[in-house]
C-alpha cells in the first residue's frame, strides 16, 4: 500500500466483566480479522480487556505495562498497530484507565486517561488516578495518532493540545452507555456531534470505538465509526459486534487542513497569555 494511504479498522465488541482470558481470546480473533483485511491500525474500545464497571474490583483486573499477555497480543500481528484498553497498575494501589499501543511484538506506549469522570452514573474518579501526559504514537512513516479516552474528549482544551502535536489521526476509544450521564443527555446524539466537530475543525480523521451490549445495568449502544478529515462518515458500525474499516489518505488530510487551517492559526502564545490572565 502507498505510504500516502492508511487502512484503519475499529473493533466494536462487547466484553465480559473481569473475564480477562475470554476477552483476550476475542481480541486475538479481531486482530486476525484485521490482519487478513490488510489493516495497519486497529482500535479497540476503552477498557476492552476488562469491562467497565469494575468498582472495587479494579485491582483484580489490573496489569503492568510489561504483562506477558499484552506482549502475546502484540506478537499476533507485529506489523499491525493495535490499541487495547486495560487497567494499568503503575505502582501498588495506583491504577489508570489506559490504552496500550501494541506493535512490533511489544508495548510501544501507554496512554493514561486524563479526565476520569465522576458525574451522573460515572465513578471513575473514585478508582483511577489521572494521567498527566498526551500520547502521540507513530503508526508508520508519515502516519501518527494521538489517543484520548472517552471523557478526555469532553475537555476541549485537552483535544486542542493533542491536535497541536499535528498527528494525522485522532483515536477515541470510549465506553458510552445510554443515559449514563442523565436521561436528558443523549450520549448517542452528543457523541456524534462531538467527534464530527473535532474531525472537521482540525482536518483530522477520527476513529471512535465504542462497545455494544449489556454490562450489569448499563447498555452500551455501539455507534463506532471512522470519520474523514472533513467530518464525513467513512465507515459506521451497525448493531452488534463487528469490524469496520476505511482507507485514509494524506492528500485528503492536507486538503482539509489547507481549507480550514485551524492548527496553523492556533496562536498558542495568545492562548497561553489569555489563560495566564484568568
What is the predicted pLDDT for the residue at 2?
A: 73
What is the predicted pLDDT for the residue at 192?
A: 98
pTM for the predicted model, two decimal places: 0.97
206-209 and 225-227 as β-strands: parallel, antiparallel, unpaired?
antiparallel
Q: The C-alpha cell of 253 is what? A: 488530510
What is the predicted pLDDT for the residue at 233?
A: 98
What is the predicted pLDDT for the residue at 205?
A: 98
- CA-to-CA distance for 211 and 167, rounded, in angstroms? 25
C-alpha dihedral sign at 255, 258, 261, 264: positive
What is the predicted pLDDT for the residue at 3?
A: 84
What is the predicted pLDDT for the residue at 158?
A: 98
Residue 21 exposed, middle or buried by CB count within 10 Å (0-12, 13-18, 19+): exposed
Q: The C-alpha cell of 82 is what? A: 493495535
pLDDT tens-place values along the chain, 278 residues long: 578 999 999 999 999 999 999 999 999 999 999 999 999 999 999 999 999 999 999 999 999 999 999 999 999 999 999 999 999 999 999 999 999 999 999 999 999 999 999 999 999 999 999 999 999 999 999 999 999 999 999 999 999 999 999 999 999 999 999 999 999 999 999 999 999 999 999 999 999 999 999 999 999 999 999 999 999 999 999 999 999 999 999 999 999 999 999 999 999 999 999 999 99
What is the predicted pLDDT for the residue at 1?
A: 58
Write out the CATH class of domain 5-276: alpha beta
Amino acid at each position: 500500500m502507498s505510504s500516502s494511504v492508511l487502512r484503519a479498522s475499529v473493533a466494536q465488541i462487547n466484553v465480559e466483566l473481569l473475564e480477562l482470558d475470554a476477552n483476550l481470546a476475542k481480541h486475538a480473533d479481531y486482530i486476525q480479522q484485521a490482519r487478513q483485511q490488510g489493516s495497519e491500525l486497529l482500535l479497540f474500545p476503552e477498557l476492552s480487556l476488562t469491562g467497565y464497571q469494575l468498582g472495587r474490583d479494579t485491582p483484580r483486573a489490573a496489569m503492568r505495562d510489561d504483562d506477558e499477555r499484552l506482549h502475546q497480543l502484540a506478537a499476533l500481528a507485529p506489523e499491525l498497530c493495535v490499541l487495547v484498553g486495560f487497567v494499568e497498575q503503575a505502582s501498588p494501589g495506583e491504577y489508570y484507565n489506559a490504552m496500550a499501543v501494541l506493535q512490533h511484538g511489544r508495548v510501544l506506549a501507554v496512554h493514561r486517561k486524563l479526565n476520569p469522570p465522576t458525574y451522573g452514573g460515572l465513578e471513575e474518579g473514585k478508582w483511577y488516578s489521572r494521567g498527566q501526559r498526551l500520547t502521540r504514537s507513530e503508526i508508520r512513516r508519515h502516519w501518527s495518532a494521538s489517543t484520548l479516552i472517552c471523557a478526555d474528549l469532553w475537555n476541549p482544551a485537552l483535544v486542542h493540545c493533542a491536535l497541536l502535536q499535528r498527528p494525522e489521526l485522532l483515536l477515541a476509544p470510549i465506553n458510552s452507555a445510554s443515559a449514563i450521564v442523565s436521561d436528558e443527555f443523549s450520549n448517542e446524539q452528543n457523541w456524534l456531534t462531538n467527534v464530527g466537530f473535532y474531525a472537521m475543525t482540525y482536518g483530522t480523521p477520527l476513529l471512535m470505538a465504542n462497545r455494544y451490549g449489556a454490562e450489569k445495568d448499563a447498555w452500551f449502544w455501539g455507534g463506532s465509526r471512522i470519520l474523514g478529515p472533513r467530518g464525513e462518515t467513512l465507515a459506521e458500525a451497525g448493531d452488534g459486534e463487528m469490524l469496520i474499516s476505511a482507507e485514509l489518505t494524506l492528500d485528503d488530510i492536507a486538503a482539509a487542513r489547507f481549507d480550514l487551517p485551524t492548527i496553523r492559526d492556533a496562536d498558542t502564545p495568545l492562548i497561553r497569555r489569555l489563560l495566564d490572565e484568568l
